[in-house]
């Protein structure tokens, strides 16, 4: 947990300040209500009004929401804020991942849409200005797919694709399966 000092924000019991850290905080969420309205959200923001100088705590250990309905709605909001054709492409990717791993919970991890299975984040995606990204939430998944990633730009933990493109079902299935195998193999995470 990281404590960030924001004395100029005037956060306290009756604060009217809005903050953005990975996601938007609703207008009705302020002061001591912050814990209640953001309970369980990844990258949670907490007001600590008991301190003389207000602080915010950013809890990076909680990678996903504890309330699946809230997580799903947070992903809905994320997608709704995108412009076409990226919204449709990433909505299709979301639906595809959900069909491959229906038991996975949708969540927000590090401010981005993701899927969690048995407590471990196994897949995620994000929209950027000039591309979309798929995140396996592991630095060693993509290297295991070799030629299957030809034609895509990759880095250790990111697969980039065009804003109007959808990833093929076979590729997403392999990405998810490799991550699941890796995440739940004895002695691995």
How far is Cα 117 from Cα 148, in angstroms, rounded to an integer? 24
Residue 84 scores a pLDDT above 60: yes
Determine the average pLDDT of the residues in 142-151. Answer: 95
pLDDT value of residue 21: 38
Token pair for 186: 């004895």
For residue range 3-13, what is the model confidence (pLDDT) as tens digits? 333 343 444 43
Query: Are the C-beta atoms of residues 13 and 35 closer than 8 Å to each other?
Result: no
Residue 132 phi/psi, 5° resolution? -115, 160
Between the two ends of the chain, the Cα-to-Cα distance in Å is 21
Q: Which residue has the tokens 């449709």?
A: 88
* Bridge partner residues of 112 (DSSP): 109
Beta-strand pair 2-5/120-127: unpaired
pLDDT value of residue 187: 59
pLDDT value of residue 120: 95
pLDDT band at 35 (very low <50, low <70, confident <90, very high): very low
Residues constituting the chain? 189
Does this model's pTM top 0.75?
no
How far is Cα 155 from Cα 134, in angstroms, rounded to an integer? 11
CATH fold, domain 68-184, is: 3.90.1150
Residue 71 scores a pLDDT above 50: yes
How far is Cα 104 from Cα 46, in angstroms, rounded to an integer? 27
> Where do you find CATH 3.90.1150.200 in the chain?
68-184
Residue 30 phi/psi, 5° resolution? -155, 160
Q: Mean pLDDT of all residues in the chain?
A: 74
Determine the average pLDDT of the residues in 59-71. Answer: 48
Determine the average pLDDT of the residues in 79-89. Answer: 97
Burial degree of 57 (CB within 10 A; 0-12, 13-18, 19+): middle
């Amino acid at each position: 947990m990281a404590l960030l000092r924001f004395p100029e924000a005037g956060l306290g019991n009756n604060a009217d300040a809005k903050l953005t850290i990975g996601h938007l905080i609703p207008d009705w969420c302020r002061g001591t209500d912050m814990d209640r309205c953001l309970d369980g959200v990844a990258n949670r923001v907490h007001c600590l009004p008991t301190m003389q100088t207000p602080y915010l705590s950013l809890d990076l250990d909680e990678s996903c929401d504890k309330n699946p309905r809230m997580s799903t709605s947070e992903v809905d909001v994320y997608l709704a804020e995108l412009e076409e054709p990226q919204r449709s492409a990433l909505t299709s990717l979301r639906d595809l991942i959900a069909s491959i791993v229906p038991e996975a919970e949708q969540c927000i991890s590090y401010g981005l849409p993701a899927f969690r299975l048995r407590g471990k984040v196994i897949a995620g995606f994000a929209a950027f200005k000039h591309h979309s990204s798929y995140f396996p939430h592991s630095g060693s998944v993509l290297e295991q797919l070799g030629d299957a990633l030809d034609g895509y730009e990759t880095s250790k933990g990111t697969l980039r694709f065009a804003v109007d493109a959808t990833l093929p079902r076979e590729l997403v299935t392999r990405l998810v399966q490799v991550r699941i195998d890796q995440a739940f193999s004895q002695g691995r995470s």
